Amino acid sequence: MFSLPMGKMTHEIITLWYRPPEVLMGIENYTTKVDSWSIGCIMTEMLTGKPLFPGDCEIGQLFKIFQVTGTPNEEVWPNVVKLPDYKSTFPVWQPRNLQDILPGVESDAIDLIEKMLTLDPEKRISIREALEHVIIKL
């Protein structure tokens, strides 16, 4: 296993449509779970032929994410309010069922995508764990 250098990291990583919420809200030290988020977005796009979160700016991108995942709070993402660009004034959206957004996509694929698009990076599936998912093992 390798480790990334510690210190302040840029938030201008990854194409905007695939950028995870923790980066969009200014986290300074992120993990490789940013890649899990990106791959979840790309998998969804491959299955549907269109991007799941086609934002045109960082705040717009966050709002596209929240309209699907629900607006984060301390219950679903402990310490989210401590992120530099978190705003208590964000509009509040309720989470949507991915099965409704991705009709016709099999349930095992939905399960993996949900795990990759988990808001809290601590709870998000790692790439190593994703490789063990039943949909990948088929």
Q: Where are the domains of the chain?
A: 16-137
Residue 4: its pLDDT value, please? 46
Radius of gyration of the chain from its Cα atoms, rounded to whole angstroms: 15
Q: How far is CA 52 from the centre of its chain?
A: 11
Write the pLDDT tens digit of every residue in 26-84: 998 999 999 999 999 999 999 999 999 999 999 999 999 999 999 999 999 999 999 99
138: pLDDT confidence band, cut at 50, 70 and 90?
low
Does the pLDDT of residue 2 top 70, yes or no?
no
CATH architecture assignment, domain 16-137: Orthogonal Bundle (1.10)
Average pLDDT, the chain: 91
CA angle (98 as vertex; 128, 69 as ends), nearest 5 = 80
d(CA 114, CA 132): 15
Residue 126: its pLDDT value, please? 96
Residue 6: its pLDDT value, please? 47
